[in-house]
Amino acid sequence: MSGPPHIPVLLDEVVEAIAPAPGSLIIDATFGAGGYTRRLLDVGATVHAFDRDPDAISAGQGWTEAEETPPRLVLHPRRFSELVEGLASAGIASVQGVVFDIGVSSMQLDQAARGFAFSSDGPLDMRMSQEGESAADFLNEASEEAIADVLYRYGEERQSRRIARAVVASRPLTTTGQFAHVVRKALGYRPGAPRDPATRSFQAVRIHINGELDELMAGLAAAERLLAPGGRLAVVSFHSLEDRIVKQFLREAAGAMPSGSRHLPMSGAAAAAVFEKPSAAIRAGAAEEARNPRARSATLRWAVRTAAPARTGLAA
């Protein structure tokens, strides 16, 4: 690869939040097209990059050819819930920074054959790892109730039952175009509307197929365990469900919410804060939004690790 094929969102803000120094050890938990990794390497950091998508790992292999020994880029074909195990296999117990860019990547969206988007017709797949149950498997085999629950929970789709009935009545579905058509017809979509109603349903099925919210919680817990005192965590999310989890995780980790939540168990009212007070939400400016439309929905939150021991009982 001569360079990242897509523009990384909030790149300057993420690098500022991570504050990499020459020789620092950073995890890029969502390698993708490598935009964050490339900038981190440019400032002299060593990067351990994780991605469950074999296409992303394959594309990054050529980056290591000209690197010095030992390499400053180490690729891990793993989910980011496996950060601890991946670093342990490399003999590493702690790092100075972890960055996440949550959700589907531009590379995946732009490949019709991956089935993540309805902008062009392709197989109804949506699997980040290219393994396991596909979107077609789920939509063609799950009960109407299960489909409605996924659409409501992960897409915040108020008409989830209506769409689920239409999906079951239209089986089998094999392409993204077919699924989008079913959703639009069920909701009475009119071309030219500001937002395609299929967007929420595609998001919901993708999150379900890839276990994205559980994966996010496990990844955040792993980052907490791996970050050295003074280490920095930066998370970019793209919709409210993700951002809600990140915001609550950091607030609780900083001691702002001592009681338990539906995401985390009670950690004890007297527990020491494991992160300093997190940043406020950081969003792209008008200039970045103009050159990169994906940035319009991005939110960055970051925080600095304290010396307190990592919490126990988290979903790692």
Mean pLDDT on 236-255:
95
Using pLDDT thresholds of 50, 70 and 90, give the confidence band for residue 294. confident
Of the candidates 241, 257, 213, which has an alpha carbon nearest to the alpha carbon of residue 299?
Answer: 241
**Residue-number span of the structural domain to which 94 is assigned:** 11-106+212-304
Query: Is 310 part of a structural domain of the chain?
Result: no
Q: Is the same domain home to 17 and 94? A: yes
Query: Is 268 part of a structural domain of the chain?
Result: yes
Q: Is the same domain home to 238 and 258? A: yes
Mean pLDDT on 211-219:
96
Q: Is the same domain home to 201 and 239? A: no
The 10 Å CB-count burial string (b at 16+, else e) for 189-208 is: beeeeeebbbebbbbbbbbb
Whole-number Å distance between alpha carbons of 298 and 178: 29
Q: Is the same domain home to 158 and 286? A: no
Whole-number Å distance between alpha carbons of 286 and 297: 12
Q: Is the same domain home to 148 and 221? A: no
CATH number at residue 97: 3.40.50.150
Q: How many other C-beta atoms are found inside a 10 Å radius of the C-beta of residue 171?
A: 13
Query: Is 5 part of a structural domain of the chain?
Result: no
The model's pTM = 0.89
206 pLDDT more than 90: yes
Last residue of a domain, one of 210, 240, 272: 210
3-state secondary structure of 192: coil
Last residue of a domain, one of 183, 210, 237: 210
Whole-number Å distance between alpha carbons of 213 and 218: 9
Query: Is 149 part of a structural domain of the chain?
Result: yes
Query: Is 168 part of a structural domain of the chain?
Result: yes
Least confident of 18-22, 195-199, 275-279: 195-199
Q: Is the same domain home to 233 and 258? A: yes
Q: How many other C-beta atoms are found inside a 10 Å radius of the C-beta of residue 26?
A: 28
Query: Is 42 part of a structural domain of the chain?
Result: yes
Query: Is 111 part of a structural domain of the chain?
Result: no
Q: Is the same domain home to 24 and 99? A: yes
Whole-number Å distance between alpha carbons of 312 and 58: 35
3-state secondary structure of 312: coil
Q: Specify the number of domains making up the chain.
A: 2
Query: Is 113 part of a structural domain of the chain?
Result: no
Whole-number Å distance between alpha carbons of 106 and 90: 29
Whole-number Å distance between alpha carbons of 96 and 236: 18
Mean pLDDT over the full length of the chain: 89
CATH number at residue 170: 1.10.150.170
- The answer to whether 303 touches 14, Cβ cutoff 8 Å, is no
Whole-number Å distance between alpha carbons of 161 and 152: 8
Q: How many other C-beta atoms are found inside a 10 Å radius of the C-beta of residue 306?
A: 18
Whole-number Å distance between alpha carbons of 99 and 223: 9
